Amino acid sequence: MHSKNRYPLICLLWMAFLFIPSLSQAQKLKSKSAKARTTAKAQPVASAKSLLWEISGNGLKQPSYLYGTYHLLNSSYLNTQPEVMERFMESRGLVVETEIDSAKMMLLGAKMVMPDNKLSNLLNKEDYALVNQEVKEKFGFELSMADQMKPMTLMLMLSMKDYQDMEVLKNYTGQPLDMYFASYNKKSNKKVSTLETMEQQFDLLYNHYPLDKQAEQLVAYIKNKDVATQLSNKLVQLYFDKDVEGIWALSQEYNELTGGGDMAYMTDDRNKDWMTKLPAIMKEQSTFIAVGAAHLPGENGLLKLLQRAGYTVKPLQ
């Protein structure tokens, strides 16, 4: 991992959100059914299909804007979203989840490996052969060459490779959306604030689950590639449809189907933490807040949390 990596850390975090909760017990997908789908649709978040929201009220002298991004979508997509660019340009500051600090990448890269363990110790013979075959097909090397990579590192590499192959994402060029916004503001000498450090995000990715659980998730991901592909394709379409309610419903459906896995650490907990920081930032100046779209919907999504804090949120698309 190095500073020239095309995909920033926020991309990996989004991938973790997509796949960790839904695939950690993916072998259960076929055994649970309509009950989860009914539950998922029972609590709509917002009827408007919009990724861009105006935030006003609660003492704000000028509005700020909340925009749900898709971390693997490149910036030429914004050429089709003039209302987004208008609000971004008029805002005096920017908030993103985190920024890449290339000076820290080598140090933090140590969190991606396990010097005191090996994949060959974590996986039984059959599962090791399965993972080895997948790695050879996708990357052209034997798993023994990556034996001390954490299972999560390998799973994210595989899922990123699958996303790179999605034709709809190849239609757009430039930088990933979040990186584009940050780069533009820096060149324009506008303030850029972050909600988390790189250290926090690396810990979320590589240290939340113990290694044996990560190994289970890696094997489940490979065994259920078709499910992963269906999920990712559907989520991409929901994003292009600006359907935050649909994104929420789909994530809840898969969460139920996989036995109610822990998603709070990836979304709810972080949203609540961000809400301790955003009010002061918005009070200072009009701010464009660009975070992953999955953080907008839900009972503990940013839209609801902002409303509960006394702000008015209005869809702009």
Query: What confidence category does residue 41 fall into, taking pLDDT thresholds of 50, 70 and 90?
Result: very low
Mean pLDDT of all residues in 57-61: 96
Mean pLDDT of all residues in 268-294: 96
Query: 202-212 burial, b for 16+ CB within 10 Å, e for fewer?
Result: bebbbeebebe
Q: What is the mean pLDDT of the chain?
A: 83
Query: What confidence category does residue 233 fall into, taking pLDDT thresholds of 50, 70 and 90?
Result: confident
Tokens of 222: 């490979």
- CA-wise closest residue to 5 among 157, 162, 182, 208: 157
120, pLDDT greater than 50 = yes
Check residue 192 and give its pLDDT.
96
The backbone torsions φ and ψ at residue 242, rounded to the nearest 5 degrees and listed phi first, read 60, 35
36, pLDDT greater than 60 = no
- Whole-model pTM? 0.83
Count of C-beta atoms within a 10 Å radius of residue 187: 8
Check residue 45 and give its pLDDT.
41
Check residue 258 and give its pLDDT.
42
Alpha helices for 91-224 (secondary structure H): 102-108, 119-122, 125-139, 151-164, 167-170, 177-187, 198-206, 211-223
What is the percent of the chain with per-residue pLDDT over 70, rounded to a whole number? 81
pLDDT tens per residue across span 207-228? 888 999 999 889 988 888 887 7
Residue with tokens 């920017």: 94
Higher pLDDT, 43 or 228: 228
What is the percent of the chain with per-residue pLDDT over 90, rounded to a whole number? 55
Measured in whole angstroms, the distance separating CA 261 from the mean position of its chain's CA atoms is 16
Higher pLDDT, 305 or 27: 305
pLDDT tens per residue across span 159-195? 888 877 888 888 999 999 999 999 999 999 999 999 9
Tokens of 35: 């009950």
Whole-Å CA distances, 204 to 20, 200, 211, 235, 281:
11, 6, 13, 22, 24
Residue with tokens 């689950």: 209
Q: How far does the chain reach from its first CA to its final CA, in angstroms? A: 37
